[in-house]
Structure 1
């Protein structure tokens, strides 16, 4: 059976990361369009210029975010490789177990675990680490696909922002429709977030909408 587009994206990039990129793109587009309403009144900004600016801004930040994603992934893999080598070189079993406990604390897990269960877990990880061989920390095909997904997700959020500018002659009305559409998508993003994480969809949607609007207000107020 052919998977839907959402499943294809979440097969490449973690759903939380994907929704975070969508949220970032929506906030970027909303910040630009809300700020442009002020410019329209003062300078009469051309709608064509706004379309180019909105799409260009989101594409540029999509590329920047993808580069940061690649750097973060490289750092994570290198850090894990360093930990593996430290465990192999540890002077004692106790020291190696302490390294694992520090790197993978079960106290932060979303469940209540007994202390007696932690020791077998870390000993199993230690056995695995000692028997395994180090592998060079390099970017995989999936990592590069995930970076492309970041570019796509941030860039594509500019489409609902600029579509009204193509369909509506009045720039002021088009911007209002664009802003309303983006605000609705903030709610949809929060709703989807809860669906993936097991939260309350309507509550998450309202929270995401309010949070997004607050961030947009801060960005506009600071000249972003």
Structure 2
């Protein structure tokens, strides 16, 4: 198999969704490690309980996010099937195109197009829809693979949080190293985000780090 024919993660799951799951997992892990500082000061840090809670929470949310992704995919496919039936049953071309405009709006997109071009696009979509036949609603292999990737992404982000506790004897030093690794990964996630968007990597990394820390602070303040 050649390099170009190998499936890439971006072919299965949207990069923005994947990075969003990584961000979510890092925030979950940081909530535990940063929040444990309060317990560490008052009662002493129980490393075993902290590592078990961090891994368990991220694995649990990985499963939840994967299931929600599958449900969202089913909803999306059902919505598309409903649109297909709606267009087939439209009493006029204007009504059919109106349904297409509502489902696939061009307003707000980062492009400027002429009205004639938009009309031609919707006319082409209408012609394609009218000639097509309804496909059977079912989950594909890539849908299940994407759900599994989501589970792995959220679960794996707990590893940088707990690894320092297995290699550093001092619990306090390990906790500092854990927090540093997670914050560094927030910055790295922001830089990766910039690769798929029109953003400066440094600014994106700093923004993602600050945003992540603010969300962690909110979660801790609210008892999360």
TM-score scaled by length of structure 2: 0.95
How do 1:30-109 and structure 2 match up within 5 A? 30-109=30-109
Match of 1:184 in 2: 184
What is the CA–CA distance in structure 2 between the aligned matches of 1:39 and 1:118, rounded to whole Å?
Answer: 59
What is the CA–CA distance in structure 2 between the aligned matches of 1:149 and 1:125, rounded to whole Å?
Answer: 32
CA offsets 1:39-77 (integer angstroms, 9 cap, x no match): 122222311111111111100000001111111111111
What is the CA–CA distance in structure 2 between the aligned matches of 1:11 and 1:112, rounded to whole Å?
Answer: 27
CA offsets 1:67-124 (integer angstroms, 9 cap, x no match): 1111111111100110010000001111001111111111122111111211110000
What is the CA–CA distance in structure 1 between the aligned matches of 2:126 and 2:3, rounded to whole Å?
Answer: 40
8 Å Cα contact 2:45-2:171 kept in structure 1: no
What is the CA–CA distance in structure 2 between the aligned matches of 1:2 and 1:113, rounded to whole Å?
Answer: 37
What is the CA–CA distance in structure 2 between the aligned matches of 1:47 and 1:23, rounded to whole Å?
Answer: 24
Q: CA deviation at 1:9?
A: 2.3
Match of 1:27 in 2: 27
Q: CA deviation at 1:2?
A: 4.2
Match of 2:215 in 1: 215
- SS of the equivalent of 1:108 reads coil
Structure 1: gaps (5+ residues): none
CA offsets 1:122-148 (integer angstroms, 9 cap, x no match): 000000100001112211110000000
What is the CA–CA distance in structure 2 between the aligned matches of 1:71 and 1:42, rounded to whole Å?
Answer: 43
What is the CA–CA distance in structure 2 between the aligned matches of 1:56 and 1:135, rounded to whole Å?
Answer: 39
Q: CA RMSD in A?
A: 1.4
- SS of the equivalent of 2:137 reads coil
TM-score scaled by length of structure 1: 0.95
Q: CA deviation at 1:184?
A: 0.6
Match of 1:125 in 2: 125
Structure 1 residue runs of 4 or more that deviate by more than 3 Å after TM superposition: none
What is the CA–CA distance in structure 2 between the aligned matches of 1:57 and 1:140, rounded to whole Å?
Answer: 28
What is the CA–CA distance in structure 2 between the aligned matches of 1:42 and 1:63, rounded to whole Å?
Answer: 33
Count of equivalent residues: 222
What is the CA–CA distance in structure 1 between the aligned matches of 2:101 and 2:11, rounded to whole Å?
Answer: 30
- SS of the equivalent of 2:196 reads helix
8 Å Cα contact 2:164-2:178 kept in structure 1: yes
What is the CA–CA distance in structure 2 between the aligned matches of 1:188 and 1:112, rounded to whole Å?
Answer: 33
